[in-house]
Amino acid sequence: MTGPVSTGPVSTGPVSTGPVATGPVSTGPVSTGPTSIWDPRLVWVTLGAIALIFLAATQSLAMTTVMPVISAELDGESLYALAFAGTLATGVIGMVVTGAWSDRSGPKPALYAAIAMFLVGLVISGTAADMQTLVIGRLAQGLGTGGQTVALYVVVARVYPPAIHGRVFAAFAAAWVVPSLIGPLLAGAVAEYLHWRWVFFGVAVLTVLAFTAVATRLHALDLRTSEPAGGGFLRRLGLAVVVAVAVLLLGMSGAFGGASPVIAVGAAVLIGLAARPLLPPLTLRAGRGLPSVILLRGVLAGALFGAEIYVPYLMIDHYDFSPTWAGLGLTAAAVAWAVSADIQGRYGDRIGNRRIVLIGVALLTVAMATAAICALTFAPPVVLIAGWTLSGAGVGLMYSRLTVLTLAYSTPRDQGFNSSALSISDSTGAAVVIAVLGLVFTAFTGTGWEFSAVFLVATAVSIFALVPGLRMDAPSGTAPFGAE
């Protein structure tokens, strides 16, 4: 299941220093005094921000369930993977733009623009008459989602006293957990008993209400900093755009006939070259310590999210599940994610980084292999659901650990860059693998091997996670806590 990728280290874009360090806190009427996020002076901002995070998460998770239905109605099988990968790719652009905009001019205009873009994307997708139009809407949603979360984090930094920042981010994390549990099931029910278009329209209406709650309270506050961020924005923006365009090109490379392999390889190389300056040195070479932490996050996101979008597709296509029951099939993995994350939080230091990686990768690999076997043998669907539950358990154990390690390897001077790098690796890794698996699925369509081929490739990606996973400790012997 899709985990709370936005609740790790605060990401305000590569040019930001993180929301807790974005400059002197504004002296607005709520900048001092409150000791609770539910203080009357903060409660509407809190409720609105949590609602916005919740709705973005719900919409994102809902797509895993309803996209097979949309693809069938709009005859868009060839663009199925791109509808997911493109959103993640443009999200990187949204992160960079909104982070820089927030640091220069305050988070309000950036937040308003991001939410507007998210709404535009929802309307375009909800009214789409063909798959190409729906993909355009999804690209707009990605810009809005990536920017919206970053802007909200900066709002937290400049509105809430530092002593209660942790409580706000805990609430944001909870806003991801609930959609993980009910989002796929609810989306499936909406698609089955109403229409898939209401998955977009319903979120749009609720987003307007949530935004109104936030904007009404923020309207009178000056959230600009007296020390705006420096230069370098245009270069980083250019790199983010190149990454996004290259991901889209990779996803569409199958349409170029005999030139497809050349275009796919060229796009992959371009992604690596453009992403490299946005990440810590040696990340793409699995350098020891922080570089491997960042790389592992991208590999895990790619393996899990790349394969996950085909699980309900397999349930509907091979097992004749309704959209509602296909969504319910992902809920067990969501519960396993939450349980594993809690175990890591309580006993992670005692277990140690190496064991966490070995256990997590083993669980994820078994889940992928089980899905491949089910696709080939038509094993009972309970086997597929039980096996996929292991994916949530494995990644849930590792994901939050990578957040902890990123902060442990960071200093106040580079917390913003490292946090951004973690989010960029997360989104780019998922987008690239989703695009590649889309090409694999299309190549094998009609052979009876399309689903099994996807899950087998995802299995290989899961095993590859051991490369950075076993190199996360600093070579000098000063690795973060819990290292072995």
Q: What does the mean pLDDT of the chain come to?
A: 80
pLDDT > 70? residue 135: yes
User: Is the CATH number 3.40.50.620 carried by domain 282-484?
Assistant: no
pLDDT tens figures, 436-448: 898 898 888 888 8
**Residue 222: pLDDT band by 50, 70, 90 thresholds?**
low
Greater confidence, 53 or 23?
53
Mean pLDDT of 21-49: 64
Question: Count of CB atoms within 10 A of residue 238's CB?
Answer: 12
Dihedral angle sign, alpha carbons of residues 124, 307, 386, 337: negative
Mean pLDDT of 22-44: 60
**Residue 205: pLDDT band by 50, 70, 90 thresholds?**
very high
pLDDT tens figures, 237-259: 888 889 888 888 887 877 777 77
pLDDT tens figures, 303-340: 998 898 899 889 888 888 887 787 777 788 888 887 88
Lowest mean pLDDT among 153-162, 240-249, 345-354, 474-483: 474-483
At 448 the pLDDT is: 84
pLDDT > 90? residue 21: no
Q: Report domain extents, the chain.
A: 1-231, 239-278, 282-484
Domain 1-231: assigned CATH number: 1.20.1250.20
CA-closest candidate to residue 247, choices 264, 234, 233: 264
pTM assigned to the model: 0.74
At 15 the pLDDT is: 32
Greater confidence, 365 or 475?
365
pLDDT > 60? residue 173: yes
